[in-house]
Amino acid sequence: MQVACFDTAFHRNHPEVADRFAIPETLYDEGVRRYGFHGLSYEYIAKRLCTVAPEIANGRVVVAHLGSGASMCAISAGKSIDSTMGFTALDGLPMGTRAGQLDAGVVLYLMSEKKMSVKMVEHFLYHDCGLKGLSGISNDVRELLASSDPRAKLALDYFIYRIVLFTGMLAAAMDGIDGFVFMAGIGENAPAIREAVLQRLSWLGVELSSRANAKGDLKISLKRSRVACYVIPTDEELMIASHTLRVLRAQNSTRVEEKRA
């Protein structure tokens, strides 16, 4: 038996207005819509909040999955409301080697003026852009943080800027924000990035504990902070195992009932 756990499933209950592009309905009917990704990761965090941060588990939380692939999600009362990734995993935040949100006109320019084929554009957007493209140095945040090259600083500043912008967008989708969660490789291991992001979100009522952040504590905001901020390691593999176990148990229960019949 094989069990498929779709990384888009957690986002399937978005309101239609959040999932549509402003294109003809026939394309939407064909499946051209905003799906969202990293769903297994967000599902894990939504469940984990009930244990580690019950005060925001049923509230409005922006979760940032920051790794080589990066996205953000608005979760309200444990349900996905909106996310930064769309039809593919190219959308939203800039990533290690992926461009993130991009004017479609840039793609047209690459094809018409640079004479790039569809395959060439695809490779370019997936492998030559993002932090690697901006810095011209590396897609690894550790290397960029250690570099004195101004291009490395630009790449990180852009990354942080886009995280802050999308936080505002996702908070608006939920009519407010009660919590912020960092996770994945960068989110869990780069206190400098976390600090830079949260300092720029002070207007939302975020008050960072620099000491807790430097130590990598679970909760990195001050007690008086209006928005509670956490660093929670994700576990997509556990979610896959849990879903698989549920399917296997259901199948076994069906077989037992068939035998009884």
Residues forming the active site: 7
Q: Buried b / exposed e across 166-202, counting CB within 10 Å, b at 16+?
A: bbeebbebbeebbbbbbbbbbbbbbbebbbbbbebbe
Q: How far apart are CA 140 and CA 123, in angstroms?
A: 19
Q: What is the 3-state secondary structure (H, E, C) of 30-69?
A: HCCCCCCCCHHHHHHHHHHHHHHCHHHHCCEEEEEEECCC
The sign of the CA dihedral 165, 12, 56, 65 is: negative
Tokens coding 197: 């992001």
Q: Is 248 left (phi over 0), alpha (psi -120 to 50) or beta?
A: alpha
